[in-house]
Amino acid sequence: ALERARTSIYPQRYGTWDNAIVLKDSRAAMTEPADVVFVGTPPDSHIAIANAVLDHATLKALIIEKPLAGPDLAGCAELAARVKKAGIFAGVGYNHTLGQNTLAAEDLLKAGKIGPISTLSARTREHWGGIFKAHPWLAGPADSYLGFSSRGGGAAGEHSHGINIWQHFAHVIGAGRVNEVSATLDMSNEAGTLYDRLCFIAMKTENGLTGDVIQDVVTAPSEKSCRIQGRDGFIDWRVNHKPGHDAVLSGNGEMVNETLVAKTRADDFKAEIAHLQEVLAGRVASSPISLERGLDTMMVIAAAFKSHKTGRRVRIDWNRGYTPEALQ
């Protein structure tokens, strides 16, 4: 895997290999001091590996790829408590919240030009053929966690940027956490898999904001957006709006202003690294990629599965922590 990263994955995605990068077996490097440890393994291994890192490593920050875990929430509450006790920064890799298009949308919201917010509507709809093209050693969803919702795959988990960016903008406008979820999933069991192809979620926050999220693994070309609808206008947050560009569209129904943001795939991660530098320097009071925010997204994912299974609306009781018992 390390050799494949050096000779294939890195050159295809980012260009010429940087010889300053040192490749080591993670088990051998576990006890070496580190500023940040990144966990980028399948979701159903995240919690165990994060605990192993906390057991053995000397670190300042821990970043876990999204989604944090499977929808059973196993180990989530315990990890949150352990990180708090350790006194380090921990986060989950929902780095769209750090993009320049996100910052531009936040600026428009703070300016108040679209008035009170009526609703949010987010979409992360993308055929996952691109994932398998980028990982050619996988023949299809059955070869990894992707084909199993219980392991963190499927649309709800793998494409949970949609849920997370909805929650992010809800925080920006002061709407609070999501506390009601109604969901319908389209499940697939082809070739020994069991995953949600389509995920439709209606959500309501503590302060009464209602809206929806759609995530899927079938849509081509992809759609990654969040519509923020106000009384006097709208803001559209978009990813890959045009080749090489994210965007923010805004207007009042008569005139649409388009702000293009040039971006490469690597820029997503550069923004994350720059943010972590600010975190470690003590200049970030509240991080949009914090473990708490990632856990909040996990709670919505778990609530969506329970809603689909029971056929009813599910309430999230935040006083019960990050546990299945909080889903009522």
Among 45, 71, 92, residue at a domain's last position: 92
CATH of residue 204: 3.30.360.10
Residues 135 and 243 both lie in one domain = yes
Residues 102 and 247 both lie in one domain = yes
Residues 54 and 121 both lie in one domain = no
Among 42, 63, 92, residue at a domain's last position: 92
Between CA 240 and CA 242 the distance in angstroms is: 5
Based on the structure, what is the number of domains in the chain? 2
Closest CA to 197 of 180, 222, 214, 221: 214
Sheet containing strand 245-251, edge to edge, reads 256-262, 245-251, 234-242, 223-230, 117-125, 210-216, 195-205, 178-188, 314-315
Residues 220 and 313 both lie in one domain = yes
Task: Answer yes or no: are the C-beta atoms of 155 and 197 closer than 8 Å.
Answer: yes
Closest CA to 99 of 271, 286, 287: 271
Q: Which domain holds residue 195?
A: 95-326
Q: What totals of helices (H) and strands (E) does the chain contain, helices first?
A: 11, 12
Q: According to the model, what pLDDT value does residue 248 have?
A: 99
Q: According to the model, what pLDDT value does residue 1 have?
A: 86
Q: According to the model, what pLDDT value does residue 45 have?
A: 98
Between CA 225 and CA 237 the distance in angstroms is: 5
Q: Is the dihedral of CA 119, 68, 270, 57 positive or negative?
A: positive
Residues 41 and 125 both lie in one domain = no
Residues 194 and 114 both lie in one domain = yes
Q: According to the model, what pLDDT value does residue 311 have?
A: 98
Task: Answer yes or no: are the C-beta atoms of 168 and 97 closer than 8 Å.
Answer: yes
Residues 232 and 102 both lie in one domain = yes
CATH of residue 81: 3.40.50.720
Cα–Cα separations (whole angstroms), residue 67 to 93, 137, 140, 151, 246: 8, 22, 19, 10, 23
Among 63, 92, 121, residue at a domain's last position: 92
Residues 32 and 101 both lie in one domain = no
Residues 108 and 85 both lie in one domain = no
Residues 306 and 217 both lie in one domain = yes
CA angle centred on 316, ends 215 and 147, rounded to 5°: 35
Q: According to the model, what pLDDT value does residue 254 have?
A: 83
Instruction: Give 155-165 pLDDT, tens digit per residue.
Output: 999 999 999 99
3 CB burial (10 A radius; 0-12, 13-18, 19+): exposed
Helix (H) or strand (E) holding 28: helix 26-29
Q: How far is CA 122 from the centre of its chain?
A: 13
Residues 75 and 133 both lie in one domain = no
Task: Answer yes or no: are the C-beta atoms of 303 and 314 closer than 8 Å.
Answer: yes
CA angle centred on 165, ends 160 and 171, rounded to 5°: 130
Closest CA to 294 of 123, 115, 131, 65: 65
Residues 215 and 67 both lie in one domain = no
Q: Hey, what are 318's tokens?
A: 């935040």
Sheet containing strand 59-64, edge to edge, reads 34-39, 59-64, 89-92
Between CA 86 and CA 22 the distance in angstroms is: 27
Q: Which residue has the tokens 């990632």?
A: 294
Per-residue pLDDT of the chain (328 residues; tens, 9 = 90+): 899 999 998 998 889 999 999 999 888 888 889 999 999 999 999 999 999 999 999 999 999 999 999 999 999 999 999 999 999 999 999 999 999 999 999 999 999 999 999 999 999 999 999 999 988 899 999 999 999 999 999 999 999 999 999 999 999 999 999 999 999 999 999 999 999 999 999 999 999 999 999 999 999 999 999 999 999 999 999 999 999 999 999 999 788 999 999 999 889 999 999 999 999 999 999 999 999 999 999 999 999 999 999 999 999 999 999 999 999 9
Instruction: Give 230-287 pLDDT, tens digit per residue.
Output: 999 999 999 999 999 999 999 997 889 999 999 998 899 999 999 999 999 999 999 9
Torsion of CA 258, 262, 263, 264, to 10 degrees: 140
